[in-house]
Amino acid sequence: MKIPAKDLSRTSAGKVLQQLAENPFNLAAPGQLTAERIKKYQCRCHDFTLLYATQRVDEDTLAALQHLADEAQAIEQFMMMKKGAIMNHIDGCESENRQVLHTACRDVFRKNPTAPDAAIQARRELERLQTFLDELDNRRLTNQQGKTFTDMIQIGIGGSDLGPRALYHALAVFRNPKRNVHFIANVDPDDAATVLSNIDLSRTLVNVVSKSGTTLETLTNEELVRRAYFQAGLDPSHHFIAVTGKDSPMDNPEKYLRSFYMYNYIGGRYSSTSMVGGVMLGFALGYDNFIEIIKGAHDMDMAAEEKDIKKNIPLLMALLGVWNHNFLGCETLAILPYSRALIRFPAHIQQCDMESNGKALSRLGKPLDYQSGPIVWGKVGTNGQHAFYQLLHQGTTIVPMEFIGFRQNQHEQDIEIKGTTSQEKLLANLLAQSLALAVGRQSENLNRKFPGNRPNLVLMADRLTPRTMGGILALYEAKIVFQGFLWNINSFDQEGVQLGKHLANQLLDHFLRIRQDDNYRAGDSDNPGWALLEAADVTGLP
Ligand code: G6Q
């Protein structure tokens, strides 16, 4: 299966969009953002509605964006990816050359003759997880004193931390009230100390997550927590669980109470619905809720196969992003959920997006002659309105925004004051911002003038549940993948991350040698690590 690869600058749709961008739809002109427009520019997929009347698009722009998606064969590529084609390839360069099959983790409940082997492997891991969780629930698996496990520490970093952690916070209200999860990611020893200072280790499981089984931060933190177990007189092999790649250095079941697997065709940042998220989320939320996440994600994976951009939220969001970034020249993107539960979600999307699409080489092996992924950032709720929104409204930089909102809150509690609930006030704020940023405000006083034309969209759902969370997760994954296809880049490797890992290890070797040999530094000034070592001196390290 050969992947159709075409650079954005070689597409005919790109040329049309270039012309349209000279005079984009003016949201700030009087009478443009009408009720009719708001009604017309809505897209629905399953539980979600996307409101995009507040983007600088009209029918001509949408037709050109549809043409762009067709020319790039975005849907065909997405379906090839789901069936197991090698996606991770760049002509003329050594690259990972792998399948990309995070969607297979969700394609586990239907008889699908085209499902790749990955779906069978995912189902097997799910069954093993279910057995493990049953044992915990039925007290067949307890600590050595016969007591239940009440806590879990998840040790992992990057893709083995951000997505799972975002989901845990998002769904905390669905948590088993007798179970808590704590996270250690950074190698900063204070991170681990904070978690360890306030926990009963004897009733805690430690879930060590590393696909490669070689990540310095994770292995160091694992040893640090193991030492705490030894010091407490506890045997770590009754508490430690591994989630790792088959045959990785961590694939050593004797060392662990249980070992679960993820496979090399699942990228770290796309791994939340594999065992990377599954073990911890299953422990905290229960197996059924984890399955709901998977089902919500699967629904979105299917919805993302729709060719008509007006019926496919992830594809439409991908295209609107390309329009704003490549044609209207906006360099960043803000993700702004109006739900405190999504507190960690912008950080996850930041990683997933910037690690996937922060690339400068096309899949044809040539430097790009256009921009790829934007700088992604964001924060939850109305708090931002009292902080950085000033720049969004009146700053010299135009920041496209993606708002996420829910009609109902998660908890049963709310209060009605002056005839409206807090949830209604929250939503009113969200919608007011969306409209104000698009339309702006005229004023004689230049200081109080708002130029408008700040492109934004609103993703709405009824309530943030495990199912909707799975949907939002898969929606953003698909959006990022589609943008990679449109930019014709390899979204599935991360050489920049690998470089950082490699350099840190190299530098640590230097530290070690300095400790062992006082004469080493003088004779080694040609060593490329030297400049870094000089800098390290300033920090007072060894
Ligand atoms: C994600 C990246 C990266 C990775 C971490 C942790 O896509 O590859 O963020 O997840 O570096 O790697 P391990 O899971 O191998 O420890």
Catalytic residue among 222, 355, 402, 477: 355
The answer, yes or no, to whether any atom of ligand 1 lies below 6 A from the CB of 491, is no
Of 2, 111, 178, 386, the catalytic one is 386
**Distance set, CA 282 to CA 176, 180, 247 (Å):** 10, 12, 24
Closest residue by CA, ligand 1 atom 10: 159
| Structure-token pair, residue 348 | 């996850």
Pick the CATH number of 8-22+35-83+305-490 from 1.10.287.1120, 3.40.50.300, 3.40.640.10, 3.40.50.10490: 3.40.50.10490
Residue 165 in contact with ligand 1 by CB distance below 6 A: no
For ligand 1, is residue 143 a contact (CB within 6 Å)?
no
- For residue range 18-62, list pLDDT tens digits in order: 999 999 999 999 999 999 999 999 999 999 999 999 999 999 999
Instruction: List the residue whose alpha carbon is closest to atom 11 of ligand 1.
Output: 158
Please say if the pLDDT value at position 286 is more than 90.
yes
Q: How far apart are the first and last CA of the chain?
A: 53
- Sheet strands (E) in 295-419: 332-337, 375-378, 401-406, 416-417
274 lines ligand 1 (CB under 6 A): no
- Confidence label for 497 from pLDDT (cuts 50, 70 and 90): confident
Write the Ramachandran bin of 46: left for phi over 0, alpha for psi from -120 to 50, otherwise beta: left
> What one-letter code names the amino acid at 253?
P
In angstroms, the CA 373 to CA 276 distance is: 25
CB-count burial class (<10 Å; 0-12, 13-18, 19+) for 223: exposed
d(CA 124, CA 101): 15
CB of 157 shorter than 6 A to ligand 1: yes
pLDDT for the residue numbered 418 = 87
How many Å lie between the centroid of ligand 1 and the Cα of residue 502?
13
Our answer to whether residue 325 is catalytic in this structure is: no
Active site residue 127: no
Tokens (6 digits) for 8: 């954005």
The answer to whether 276 touches 207, Cβ cutoff 8 Å, is no
* pLDDT exceeds cutoff 60 at 282: yes
Mean pLDDT confidence for 277-289: 98
Check if 269 has its Cβ closer than 6 Å to any atom of ligand 1. yes
Q: What ranges do the domains of the chain cover?
A: 8-22+35-83+305-490, 120-295, 501-539
Question: In this predicted structure, which of 164-178, 233-247, 517-531 has the lowest mean pLDDT?
Answer: 517-531
Q: How far is the CA of 61 from the centre of ligand 1 (A)?
A: 38
The response to whether residue 210 sits with its C-beta less than 6 Å from ligand 1 reads yes
The pick from 160, 208, 244 for probing ligand 1's pocket by mutation, whose C-beta has the most ligand atoms within 8 angstroms, reads 160
Pocket lining: 164 vs ligand 1, CB cutoff 6 Å: no
SS3 content of the chain, % helix, strand, coil (to 5): 50, 15, 40
Write the secondary structure of 471-511 as one string of H (helix), E (strand) and C (coil): HHHHHHHHHHHHHHHHHCECCCCCHHHHHHHHHHHHHHHHH
Angle 57-61-66 from CA coordinates, rounded to 5°: 120
Beta-carbon count within 10 A of 285 CB = 24
| Minimum mean pLDDT range among 213-222, 246-255, 380-389 | 380-389
- The ligand 1 atom nearest the CA atom of 217: 16
| pLDDT tens digits, 180-208 | 999 999 999 999 999 999 899 999 999 99
Give pLDDT, residue 523: 43
Whole-Å CA distances, 324 to 80, 240, 313, 454: 27, 47, 16, 10
501 is catalytic: yes
Ligand 1 pocket residue status of 454, Cβ below 6 Å? no
CA of 317 to the centre of ligand 1 (A): 26
Quote the ligand 1 centre to 157 CA distance (angstroms). Answer: 6
Of 171, 225, 200, 140, the closest CA to residue 410 belongs to: 171
Distance 497 CA to ligand 1 centre (A): 8
Higher pLDDT, 513 or 236: 236
Q: Is the pLDDT of residue 342 over 80?
A: yes
Q: 497, 498, 503: which to mutate for ligand 1, most atoms within 8 A of CB? A: 497
Tell me the CA distances in angstroms from 94 to 88, 134, 264, 316, 363, one per residue in order: 10, 44, 17, 32, 12
Mean per-residue pLDDT of the chain: 93
Can 8-22+35-83+305-490 and 120-295 be said to share one CATH topology? yes
The CATH architecture that domain 120-295 belongs to is 3-Layer(aba) Sandwich (3.40)
Which atom in ligand 1 lies closest to the alpha carbon of residue 209?
14
Q: Structure pTM?
A: 0.94
Q: How confident is the model at residue 536 (pLDDT cuts 50, 70, 90)?
A: low
Whether pLDDT at 133 is above 70: yes
Which amino acid type is present at position 171? L
Which ranges in 140-241 belong to alpha helices (H)?
A: 162-170, 189-196, 216-231
Residue 210 in contact with residue 275, Cβ under 8 Å? Answer: no
Q: Which bin fits 301, alpha (ψ -120 to 50), beta or left (φ > 0)?
A: alpha
